[in-house]
Amino acid sequence: MSDQVTLKIDGISVSVKRGTTVLDAAKTINIRIPTLCHHEDLCVAGNCRVCVVEQTGTDRLIPACAMPAADGMEIHSNSLKVRNARKQIVELLVSEHRAECTTCYKNGNCELQALSHEYIIGENGYINLIPLKEYTIDYYSPSIIKDDSKCIRCQRCVRTCDELQGVGALTVSHKGSEMKISTFMDKPIYQVVCTNCGQCVNRCPTGALVERHYIDEVWAAIYNEKKFVVVQTAPAVRVALAEALGHEPGEIVTGKMVAALRRLGFDAVLDTDFTADLTIIEEGHELLQRLKRALKDKDPDVKLPMTTSCSPGWVKFLEHIFPEFMENLSTAKSPQQMFGALAKTFYASKIGVEPASMVSVSIMPCTAKKYEANRPEMYASGYQDVDYVLTTRELALMIKQAGIDFNSLADDDYDSIMGESSGAGVIFGATGGVMEAALRTVYEVVTGREVPFDGLNITPVRGVEGVREASILINKTLPEWSFLEGVELKTCVAHGLNNARNVMKAVRDGSASYHFIEIMACPGGCLGGGGQPIPTSSDIRKRRSSAIYQEDSQKVIRKSHENPEIVQIYKEFLIEPLGHTSHKLLHTKYTARERY
């Protein structure tokens, strides 16, 4: 059997690899067939039926997303029969939908809305089913709002949570007219195993799953004269924000973003990248301390491998699914929460602002960060350390609301202190970035030399594979670290919680042994976070990733421990890594949770 098949779509002959769907075959010749349930990150569902096309010789229409292309097929993607059917299918969806676009958060970025526009659905005559049904809106989670009246039952969310995340918080329940997307016992999202990662939000084609937004609260703080509003921006925001403002993926807009934030009225514009560097120092030393206890002191209680703790979706996942590994999680807080704790202590006193009158806002690529900021552990400053978390999408919306012409903004710089960062802080936004940043510092602490990689680029930990392993041989150590002489430091990097689950299972059953594991809840790391601009795809994530590594390579300072502001904060305030103040402000505890 030949590897290629040749078919005709709308009269155009096209050859594709066997197994390619009609939908993807059409894409190669720039014919767009509309879809709703299809998402390139997910397995084929074939349930919305808007992608139906006509095949010569077949009476029934066939779903382009689910049908493999075959030799000799003659496909018509836009025949009268197809158009009529498609239009009726969209009409049916709208009849079951609380189609109130003007009051809907997804207005303007909604696939159902776009399709309704294309097919001029208008008053279609079908009976509106919404008043006849009971539906629930779950707005109890600090991260995610689930509105069943906006759901088209495409099951993208279910597949996302199941296939990519291995969480299974969302399921389909009931059948027929009652069929809906549900959770364990139909509990609100915040009471179940959901990690708040927002990957489902990123893939929901409608307004049925959206982030809980805090835009109005943030405006209120900005307008409140008595409040000093500081804002921090996560590493992955700067490489994606532009997409939400009409640019191509992969553009870095750090300077314009800073300028926009200042124009919005934030009193200080600071950088989470700074606390990313700080995380590296704390977490790196924690790793070294654990290695020392294990290898030198032969302490049987020390837990290895150590896993990163900067991804709150991952942390909650572990608390639910692998609570027996809670002590393996680094106690270091995420950069967002380190920032929050320092903002209302160190920074407040530095600039002479009462912490009580400070409002701390963060711009994150992430919905789980909203939840993290609300965790009871996150009041180290005596106040809620981070008051409001906005996603990249929310920031884009604020920029639009303010009438700012983003393109014409001149680049601006972060305020200081807590605005400076190294390249190591920047790459936190990509999968493998924390590992690379940590190795750049840890290796140098132990040996006094730079990591033995060309240009400090530790390429084995970079990439897109779901799980990557790399080891680095430590030799010629400084005397203090002689117990590490000849040790091969074994590391593992995983992104997407399903991959995380596999790694932890391997660790549990002993089939894998590592010293240090980096896990990011979202595919691609934070750059693919649940708060990033929609849509997402592997190509978009790749472009954001290249942008991040480009930003790193252009930085003068590439290593966290060389960030002068890091040096300064240890000198003035923290004194030493893992010291008393660090423990109070920068480290945290975890909570075991139910498995459902």
Partner that binds at residue 181, options other proteins, ligand SF4, ligand FES, none, CB closer than 5 to 8 Å by kind? ligand SF4
Interface pattern 87-116 for ligand SF4 (x via CB under 6 A): ----------x-xxx--x-xx--x-xx---
Structure tokens at 111: 């696939």
Min. distance of Cβ 250 from ligand SF4 in angstroms? 25
Written as one string, the DSSP assignment of 219-256 is HHHHH-TT-EEEEEE-TTTTTTGGGGGTPPTT---HHH
Active site residue 157: no
Distance in angstroms (rounded) separating the CA atoms of residues 204 and 193: 19
Site for other proteins in 146-205 (CB under 8 A): 152-153, 155, 171-172, 174-179
Bridge partners for 528 per DSSP? none
Chain residues 10-69 in contact with ligand FES, contact rule CB under 6 A: 35-38, 46-51, 63, 65-66
Closest distance to ligand SF4 from the beta carbon of 527 (Å): 17
Which amino acid, 448? G
User: What is residue 230's three-state secondary structure?
Assistant: strand
Q: Which does 395 bind (CB under 5 to 8 A by kind): ligand FES, ligand SF4, other proteins, none?
A: none
Q: Are 24 and 67 in contact (CB under 8 A)?
A: no
* Amino acid letter for position 327: E
Owner of token pair 């132990």: 446
User: Applying CB under 8 A, which of residues 6, 47, 416, 471 lies at the interface with other proteins?
Assistant: 47
Catalytic position from the list 74, 217, 251, 377: 377
Taking CB under 8 A as the rule, does residue 89 contact other proteins?
yes
Q: Does 528 bind ligand SF4 (CB under 6 A)?
A: no
Q: List, as one string, the DSSP characters of 253-276.
A: -HHHHHHHHHHHT-SEEEEHHHHH
Alpha carbon distance 20, 23 (integer Å): 8
**Least Cβ distance, residue 184 to other proteins (angstroms):** 14
Nearer to ligand SF4, 169 or 252 (CB): 169
- Residue 167 interface partner, choices ligand SF4, other proteins, ligand FES, none, CB cut-off 5-8 Å depending on type: ligand SF4
Contact indicator for 413, 419 with CB cutoff of 8 Å: yes
Dihedrals phi, psi of 309, to nearest 5 degrees: -135, 20
- Degrees to nearest 5, angle at CA 343 with 337 and 344: 105
Shortest distance (Å) from residue 286 CB to ligand SF4 = 27
- Residues 248, 407 contacting (CB under 8 angstroms): no
CA distance 442 to 462: 18
Question: How many other β-carbons are positioned within 10 Å of the β-carbon of residue 486?
Answer: 11
Where do runs of H (alpha helix) occur along 44-95?
80-95
Active site annotation includes 197: no
Candidates 372, 394, 436, 551; catalytic one: 372
Q: DSSP label at 247?
A: P
Based on CB atoms, which residue is closest to ligand SF4, 181 or 338?
Answer: 181
Residues that bind ligand SF4 (CB under 6 A): 97, 99-101, 104, 106-107, 110, 112-113, 144, 150-157, 160-161, 165, 167, 169-170, 181, 194-200, 204-209
Residues that bind other proteins (CB under 8 A): 44-50, 52, 59-61, 63, 66-68, 81, 84-85, 88-89, 92-93, 95-96, 125-127, 129, 132, 152-153, 155, 171-172, 174-179
Q: Which residues are catalytic?
A: 283, 286, 310, 330, 369, 372, 377, 526
Residues that bind ligand FES (CB under 6 A): 35-38, 46-51, 63, 65-66
